[in-house]
């Protein structure tokens, strides 16, 4: 089992429920899914509380960046179980937020047996919602934290991901700081192609500049089983949607990248 599954609840170790707000007629347009709905970002509760929406049907934004699925690590301050859902008040030291896990009547509720009780530290996966001017997490998976190290790992990971979105990825060994493109600088193909000018040492030197820029950017991203979303690639290397799509098709044909959880996420075949 991969580290991703171990940390984020894969493999059946969690408490899973479905939301009745999955349909199109849900309050506040909860059924709408954006292109980032399959992405997963580690956050603190403070960051979730600072997220904003332009309107009820809009995607959630944090520091001008869309957020889709989220994961937090926190302790359960209180639990309230109702006929249709369990409500957890979560606290991670940066703030408090409610998480709702909807109960499947056909499945026995074994959350207490799993240790999902008041005072326990848990990892929660889900999406941020708003109902009655109150933010909450629509939880799809809740499981107990496996060790103290996971708490520290989550804090560091949330900080790292936030800094990467703000300042760009850290330089790799042998890469100059000037070659790392910070957020908001409107990078172009040439900016990332400049990272591959040492042709003799670059195993992708035979690729066209746009293709090489895509591969270089993907190599600079932190490990993620879900891969890199095409929107992140487009923002990093520039170019129009058709050019990016054609370049990815070429890289797929050459066996250099492959799609992961859907046709919009790609991983290097290295």
217 and 158 housed in the same domain? no
Residue 250 lies in a domain: yes
Does pTM surpass 0.85? no
Q: How many domains, in total, are found in the chain?
A: 2
Are β-strands 69-81 and 134-144 bridged in parallel, bridged antiparallel, or unpaired? unpaired
- For residues 226 and 237, the answer to whether their CB atoms sit within 8 Å is no
Percentages of the chain per state (helix, strand, coil), in multiples of 5: 35, 25, 40
DSSP label at residue 54 = S
40 and 145 housed in the same domain? yes
Of 108, 143, 167, at which residue does a domain stop?
Answer: 167
pLDDT along the chain (270 residues), means of 10: 45 38 36 56 95 88 88 95 91 96 76 85 94 92 92 93 83 62 46 39 70 85 82 81 85 84 80
* Residue 1: per-residue pLDDT: 37
Of 136, 151, 167, at which residue does a domain stop?
Answer: 167
48 and 105 housed in the same domain? yes
43 and 112 housed in the same domain? yes
138 and 262 housed in the same domain? no
Residue 23 lies in a domain: no
Dihedral of CA atoms 6, 11, 15, 19 in degrees, nearest 10, equals: 110
Residue 142 lies in a domain: yes
140 and 257 housed in the same domain? no
Ranges of H-type helices in the chain? 3-8, 45-50, 111-114, 148-167, 189-193, 209-220, 230-237, 241-253
The CATH number that applies at residue 73 is 2.40.50.140
Of 167, 193, 227, at which residue does a domain stop?
Answer: 167
- For residues 253 and 59, the answer to whether their CB atoms sit within 8 Å is no
The CATH number that applies at residue 227 is 1.10.10.10
* Residue 204: per-residue pLDDT: 67
Domain of residue 255, residue span = 209-268
């Amino acid at each position: 089992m991969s580290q991703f599954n171990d940390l984020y609840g894969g493999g059946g170790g969690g408490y899973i429920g479905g939301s009745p707000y999955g349909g199109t007629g849900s309050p506040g347009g909860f059924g709408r899914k954006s292109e980032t709905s399959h992405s997963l970002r580690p956050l603190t509760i403070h960051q979730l509380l600072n997220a904003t929406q332009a309107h009820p049907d809009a995607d959630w934004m944090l520091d001008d960046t869309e957020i889709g699925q989220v994961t937090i690590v926190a302790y359960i301050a209180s639990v309230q179980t109702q006929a249709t859902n369990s409500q957890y008040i979560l606290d991670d030291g940066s703030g408090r937020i409610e998480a709702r896990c909807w109960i499947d009547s056909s499945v026995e509720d074994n959350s207490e047996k799993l240790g999902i009780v008041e005072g326990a530290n848990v990892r929660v996966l889900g999406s941020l919602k708003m109902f009655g001017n109150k933010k909450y997490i629509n939880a799809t998976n809740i499981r107990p934290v496996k060790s103290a190290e996971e708490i520290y790992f989550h804090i560091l990971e949330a900080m790292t991901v936030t800094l990467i979105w703000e300042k760009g990825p850290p330089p790799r060994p042998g890469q100059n700081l000037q070659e790392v493109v910070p957020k908001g600088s409107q990078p172009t193909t040439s900016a990332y192609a400049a990272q591959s000018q040492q042709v003799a040492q670059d195993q992708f030197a035979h690729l066209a500049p746009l293709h090489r820029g895509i591969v270089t950017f993907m190599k600079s991203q932190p490990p993620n089983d879900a891969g890199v979303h095409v929107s992140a690639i487009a923002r990093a290397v520039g170019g129009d949607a058709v050019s990016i799509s054609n370049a990815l098709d070429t890289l797929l044909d050459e066996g250099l990248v492959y799609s992961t959880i859907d046709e919009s996420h790609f991983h290097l075949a290295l």
